[in-house]
Amino acid sequence: MGSKVSSFRKKDLWKRVFGTAFGSPALGSVVPPSTEGEVAEMAEALAGGQSGENSVRLGGYQQELKRTLGPFQVFAISFAFISVAVGIFATYDDVLQNAGPVGIWLWVIAAAGQTLVALIVAQFAARIPLSGSSYQWASRLANPKIGWGFGWLTFCYLAIAVVAVDNALASQAFIPLIGIAPDEGTARLITLVVLLIQVVLAVGSTRIVSVINASAVGLELVLVVVVAIALFIAVAITGDGAVGNLTSRGVAENAPDYFAVGGGLMFAMLMGLATLVGFDAAANLAEEAKDPYRNVPRAIVGSVVAAGLLGLLFLVALTVAIDDIPRVSASDSPVAMIMHDQLGPVMERTLLVAITFAFFGAGLVVMTACSRIVFAMSRDSRFPAHRLMRRVDPRTHTPVPATILIFVIGVILMVALPGAALLKLITAATILPAIIYGLTIVLYLGVRRRLERKKGAFDLGRFELPVAIGALVWSVVALFMLVVPAGALVPVLIVVGLLLAGGLFFLGLLLFNRQALETEPGDVSVFKH
């Protein structure tokens, strides 16, 4: 009897300690179940051509976030996350050093594979346009427990990605721009300042975020095209550069493991895999998009296609413009060096200004997307401190505590982790999206026959099965290429650690708030046949 009393007391203590994290679902943002007539009416609205204003109510929530994002702003969110100029600027040196200039052609394979993945992600986004993207899709079409796993993986990836983008802004763009000596401490201080500015903007208004982001994307689109054309013209006039660079192995010519699994050539694939991700960011902000059934899927697919084509143009132009392959390959910033050699210091500084702005826009989008996944999980009582994290400011219509959480995590990572550990953590973040996308495709193959088909919404029709199978094969290949290199062992262990940490909270939910993992707000059937 004494042991039972002790057990009950311990359980009560755990409930007190984790009361905020594991408490019963908050009803403030959840719409009570509708009557049969209301459900039928809403289902009819969903099947019609309405703009998506009812999508949040169909999901069982109140419309707390403000719909301010038009078609271009939604596209810009996904494109900014991908950020072609930023991705190439940060990884082109790795391609030259490990695979040589010829390694750029693996970008085409990565772009084709990621486009297949984007098409499947768009299929989901066209049917369940709710904040939280894959978390919502898995929760409603599989079960809340599986959905929680999707949500936790996405949160970990985005929280790390914010730090990765902003730290790269500081070290690879801003420090060279202002002309000071590279220094890790200075870069971290700049990163913290950038994080602070971004959280203020993200909390202030989604419209502000979209305006800054759209401006950054517009500048990046113009920059990539103009620079590519300028480089082709410069090479044609001066003769400094060669088309033959496109087939050269450069400094990797005599590498013994060049074609081996995990070798130099395979390593070059990481540029495309690390850059062409995050296109589902638009789905994370679906509750703030106008006509989400059409605009969000188009933004997802359009951003990948546009990034793939523009990235290839930029890579070809840069590679043809190399006049000294060994010298450029030895540089930590080969893109800036090529610009300086071919177009002069003024254009080089112009590039750095634009790259800095693009980095800032990308980091701002990642922070915003991460706050939405925290908000989405919290209003379902499935995230630590959910009562706090689900709060939306009535004036700004933004989830303020969730956004501040991302900032706090960024500060902790920048202050607590030494350089080597931070680098390994950032590398681990490249593995997470491959896992998330692969699981999303498996989910789609399992539930595709039960998905509701909305008239006028994005739909692959008879091509959905072959596209899904192709996307799944590609996801397996991509994940293999990310984990095979010898240097991937520590990042893989970090991913396992993040999963275990999430597993502890998941276990707490099962013990003290099982209802949160067994019920779903709204009428799930309206999203199915």
- If pLDDT is split at 50, 70 and 90, which confidence band does 51 have? low
Number of Cβ within a 10 Å radius of residue 515:
11
Average pLDDT rounded to a whole number, residues 37-41: 39
The C-alpha atoms of residue 189 and residue 173 are separated, in whole angstroms, by 14
pLDDT at 198 over 50: yes
pLDDT at 32 over 70: no
pLDDT at residue 526, rounded to an integer = 59
The C-alpha atoms of residue 502 and residue 496 are separated, in whole angstroms, by 10
pLDDT at 111 over 90: yes
pLDDT at 27 over 60: no
Q: What pLDDT, in 10s, does the model give residues 323-365? A: 999 999 998 889 989 999 999 988 888 888 988 998 999 999 9
- If pLDDT is split at 50, 70 and 90, which confidence band does 37 have? very low
Please, what is the Cα angle at 335 between 192 and 102, to 5 degrees?
Answer: 125
The C-alpha atoms of residue 444 and residue 450 are separated, in whole angstroms, by 10
Q: What pLDDT, in 10s, does the model give residues 270-289? A: 899 999 999 999 999 999 89
44 contact partners, CB below 8 Å, separation of at least 6: none
pLDDT at residue 524, rounded to an integer = 64
For residue 258, count CB atoms less than 10 angstroms from its CB and return exposed for 0-12, middle for 13-18, buried for 19 or more.
middle
For residue 14, count CB atoms less than 10 angstroms from its CB and return exposed for 0-12, middle for 13-18, buried for 19 or more.
middle
Measure Cα distances from 494 to 195, 198, 432, 464, 499 in Å.
23, 27, 10, 35, 9
CB 131 within 8 A of CB 378: no
Mean pLDDT over the full length of the chain: 85
Percentage of the chain surpassing pLDDT 90? 53
- Secondary structure (3-state) at 355: helix
CB 405 within 8 A of CB 378: no
Q: What pLDDT, in 10s, does the model give residues 113-140? A: 999 999 999 999 988 889 889 999 999 9
Q: What pLDDT, in 10s, does the model give residues 445-470? A: 999 888 777 777 788 888 999 999 99
pLDDT at residue 52, rounded to an integer = 59
109 contact partners, CB below 8 Å, separation of at least 6: 269, 272
Give strand ranges (E) for 430-497: none
The C-alpha atoms of residue 288 and residue 319 are separated, in whole angstroms, by 40
The 3-state secondary structure of 64-84 reads: CCCCCECHHHHHHHHHHHHCH
pLDDT at 4 over 50: no
Residues 79, 83, 87, 88: what is their CA dihedral angle, to the nearest 10 degrees?
Answer: 100
Q: Closest Cα partner for 250 from 93, 106, 104, 102?
A: 102
pLDDT at residue 376, rounded to an integer = 93
pLDDT at residue 22, rounded to an integer = 38
Average pLDDT rounded to a whole number, residues 291-317: 94
pLDDT at 382 over 90: yes
CA neighbours within 13 Å on the CB side: how many for 328?
25
pLDDT at 16 over 50: no
Top mean-pLDDT range of 23-27, 53-57, 137-141: 137-141
pLDDT at 523 over 90: no
528 vs 452, residue with greater confidence: 452
